[in-house]
C-alpha cells in the first residue's frame, strides 16, 4: 500500500509539472519580450555545487520542458522508403481480395479489412516481363495482387499497382506501372522496335502517342537521362471533380518496351501527396540488361 501511494504521488507530481509547463508555454510572453539577462559570475558553494542564483531560472526550464512535450506530441507517424523491384517479392505485405468476398465496384479501399487481406506476394512481371525496373516509395503503399491472372488489377492491363489511403482526402493515392497498351499484341504498339523514347519525338509528341485522348489544363514536361536511358517526365493537371485529376509520370523505352510509372492523386490529397509522388518518379529506374 505504501509503495502504491508513493507511485500515485509521483504520478500526480509528473502531471502537475507537465500542466505547469504547458501553461507557461502558452503564457504569451515571447523570448523577444523578455529583458536581457546580465551574466553573473559563477560562484561555488562549499559543497561544490553552483549557487541557486546562478542556476537556469525555473521559468525557462518550464518553457523548455513544455516545448519538448508539445513537439513530441505533434510529431507525425514516420514511414520509411523501401525499394520496389519488378518480378521480386514485395518489401511490404500485399493486399488481395478475400476469397469469396467479391469486390465492390468503384474505388479500391485497401483499408477495408472485411474485403481485403494482407499476404506476401511477388510484384511486377505480368505485362512487362523482359525489362526490369525499380523505384522507391513509402512503406505505407500497399501492392495489389490476386486480381486478373493473379496480377494487380481486374483488367489485367497493369504490371504493378500500389495504393494507400494515408494521405487523407476522398480517394486513394495510387502508383501504377504500365507498358502503355496492356495485353495488346506488341506489334500494335507504336514503340515496338524503338531503342529510345526520343524515337517518338519530343515530350509533347510522345504524350500524344502515349495518351491521344488526354486533355489537361496544366502540363510540365522535363527530360532526364540515367544509365544512358532517356526519361520523359510530366506533371499534369485536369480540372475535374471526384477524379484522380493530378498525375505525375516518368516514361522510358528500352529494347522496344515502354515502361511508364504514373502517380495519381486528387485535389483532396494533392498537397500532401505531391512531394511523395515526385520523389517516386525521380527514383524510378529501368535496369539495363548487362547482356545488351
- Sorted by sequence, the CB contacts under 8 Å of residue 25 that are 6+ apart come out as 62, 63, 66, 67, 70
pTM: 0.72
Instruction: Give the chain's residues under pLDDT 70.
Output: 1-78, 102-105, 183, 242, 291-292
**Strand-by-strand arrangement of the 81-85 sheet:** 81-85, 132-138, 285-287
Query: What's the pLDDT tens digit per position in 194-243?
Result: 999 999 999 999 999 998 888 899 999 999 999 999 999 999 999 877 67
Place of cell 529501368: 286
Amino acid at each position: 500500500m505504501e509503495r502504491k501511494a508513493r507511485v500515485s504521488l509521483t504520478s500526480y507530481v509528473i502531471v502537475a509539472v507537465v500542466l505547469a509547463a504547458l501553461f507557461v508555454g502558452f503564457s504569451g510572453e515571447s523570448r523577444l519580450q523578455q529583458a536581457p539577462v546580465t551574466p553573473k559570475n559563477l560562484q561555488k558553494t562549499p559543497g561544490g555545487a553552483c549557487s541557486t542564483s546562478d542556476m537556469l531560472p525555473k521559468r525557462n526550464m518550464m518553457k523548455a520542458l513544455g516545448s519538448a512535450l508539445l513537439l513530441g506530441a505533434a510529431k507525425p507517424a514516420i514511414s520509411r522508403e523501401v525499394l520496389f523491384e519488378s518480378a521480386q517479392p514485395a518489401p511490404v505485405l500485399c493486399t488481395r481480395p478475400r476469397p469469396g468476398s467479391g469486390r465492390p465496384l468503384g474505388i479500391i479501399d485497401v483499408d477495408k479489412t472485411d474485403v481485403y487481406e494482407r499476404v506476401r506476394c511477388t510484384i511486377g512481371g505480368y505485362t512487362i516481363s523482359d525489362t526490369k525496373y525499380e523505384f522507391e516509395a513509402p512503406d505505407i503503399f500497399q501492392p495489389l495482387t490476386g486480381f486478373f491472372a493473379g496480377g494487380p488489377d481486374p483488367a489485367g492491363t497493369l504490371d504493378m499497382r500500389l495504393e494507400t489511403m494515408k494521405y487523407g482526402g476522398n480517394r486513394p493515392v495510387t502508383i501504377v506501372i504500365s507498358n502503355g497498351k496492356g495485353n495488346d499484341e506488341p506489334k500494335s504498339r507504336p514503340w515496338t522496335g524503338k531503342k529510345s523514347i526520343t524515337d517518338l519525338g519530343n515530350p509533347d509528341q510522345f504524350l500524344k502517342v502515349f495518351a491521344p485522348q488526354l486533355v489537361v489544363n496544366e502540363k510540365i514536361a522535363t527530360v532526364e537521362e540515367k544509365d544512358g536511358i532517356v526519361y520523359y517526365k510530366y506533371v499534369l493537371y485536369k480540372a475535374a471533380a471526384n477524379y484522380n485529376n493530378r498525375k505525375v509520370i516518368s516514361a522510358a523505352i528500352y529494347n522496344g518496351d515502354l515502361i511508364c510509372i504514373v502517380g495519381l492523386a486528387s485535389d483532396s490529397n494533392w498537397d500532401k501527396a505531391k512531394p511523395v509522388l515526385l520523389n517516386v518518379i525521380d527514383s524510378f529506374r529501368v535496369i539495363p540488361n548487362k547482356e545488351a
